[in-house]
Amino acid sequence: MSSIHPTAIISPQAEIGSGVEIGPYCVIGGGVVLGDGCRLQNMVTIQGPSCIGARNVFYTGAAIGQQTQDLKYKGEPTFLETGDDNVFREYCTVNRGTLPGSKTIIGCHNHFLAYCHIAHDCVVGSHVIFSNNGTLAGHVVVEDHVILGGLTAVHQFCRIGSYAITGGCSKIVQDVVPFMIADGNPAATRGVNLVGLQRAGFSEEDIRAIKEAYKAVFMRKQNTGAALEELAKSPHAANPRVAKLMAFIQASSRGITK
């Protein structure tokens, strides 16, 4: 059975799953699909069109699925999709897409701490942690297992690769390569996220290969293209983790955080 506080306002065009808890003064707009087992603490707003997965938890003041802040937006239908088992702490904001039919997409098992912001058309993977005030501009891609440090701000169209971590108060203006630590204003790549990789169960062989890739790309005085050519000729190029790192760099349109 769902539990809905009498002060909550729920649109008749919203779909509410089973076992949902909706606390005082929450507002659920039309076009919202709220999955089974979701919990809304109090004063949470979810607007649609939004499809919210199962067992998501929203704390006080979270504003989810609001329209984009992009000034090009003309009121067309845009969307938000989230997976399951996410936590949105106090006053998190998540915006829908901008262009007609566009989506903001969030995966599963993420933890967004207080005052985080995910702007229009972002794609966030799974098992991600955003510390307090982590902020994404529009069209940012965050891959799986990323940790965004507190007060980190990410420029539009940037990508943050899997298992990367940013330091607190970092300014990200280019892509952060997978498995790396980025820190500073503007951010620079400081090294391999060794502790994060060890905690995630990476093998010694994988970590060794990633370290060698880091040396080739970031420590030698050569441009990125030359570094990739060198890395492609090394025995470490066959390692799946290094192959992912190389493919990420090759796909970069903004350049990488060096």
Residue 138 known to be catalytic: yes
Structure tokens at 31: 């076009």
CATH of the domain at 239: 1.20.1180
Domain finish residue from 100, 118, 139 = 139
pLDDT of residue 39: 98
> Dihedral of the CA atoms 143, 145, 151, 152 (nearest 10)?
-40
In the beta sheet, which residues pair with residue 129?
111, 147
For this structure, is 206 an active site residue?
no
95 and 212 belong to one structural domain:
no
170 contact partners, CB below 8 Å, separation of at least 6: 149, 151, 152, 153, 182, 183, 184, 185, 187
For residue 111, indicate whether it is catalytic: no
Q: How many domains does the chain have?
A: 2
Q: Please indicate, yes or no, if residue 146 is contained in any of the structural domains.
A: no
Q: Which of 117, 139, 161 is the last residue of a domain?
A: 139
Question: pLDDT tens digits, residue range 141-185?
Answer: 999 999 999 999 999 999 999 999 999 999 999 999 999 999 999
Residues 210 and 116 in one domain: no
Let me know whether 32 and 135 are in one domain: yes
Task: Supply the range of the domain harboring residue 228.
Answer: 198-250
pLDDT band at residue 105 using 50, 70 and 90 as cut-offs: very high
Q: Note whether 230 and 246 are within 8 A (CB).
A: no
Catalytic member of 37, 83, 120, 236 = 120
| 1 CB-contact burial (10 Å; exposed 0-12 / middle 13-18 / buried 19+) | exposed
- Based on the fold, state whether residues 134 and 8 are members of the same structural domain: yes
CATH number of the domain residue 94 falls in: 2.160.10.10
Both 27 and 105 in one domain: the answer is yes
Residue 94 lies in a domain: yes
3-state secondary structure of 82: strand
* Same domain assignment for residues 133 and 202: no
The verdict on 230 and 106 lying in the same domain is no
- pLDDT at residue 236 is higher than 90: yes
Q: Do the domain assignments include residue 159?
A: no
How confident is the model over 93-102, as pLDDT tens digits?
Answer: 999 999 999 9
Task: Determine the pLDDT at residue 64.
Answer: 98
In a domain, 55, yes or no: yes
Residue 158 lies in a domain: no
The pTM for the full model equals 0.97
Choosing from 138, 149, 150, 161, which is the catalytic residue? Answer: 138
Q: Among the options 121, 175, 183, 206, which is catalytic? A: 121
pLDDT for the residue 55: 98
Q: Is 207 within 8 Å of 191 (Cβ atoms)?
A: no
pLDDT of residue 1: 82
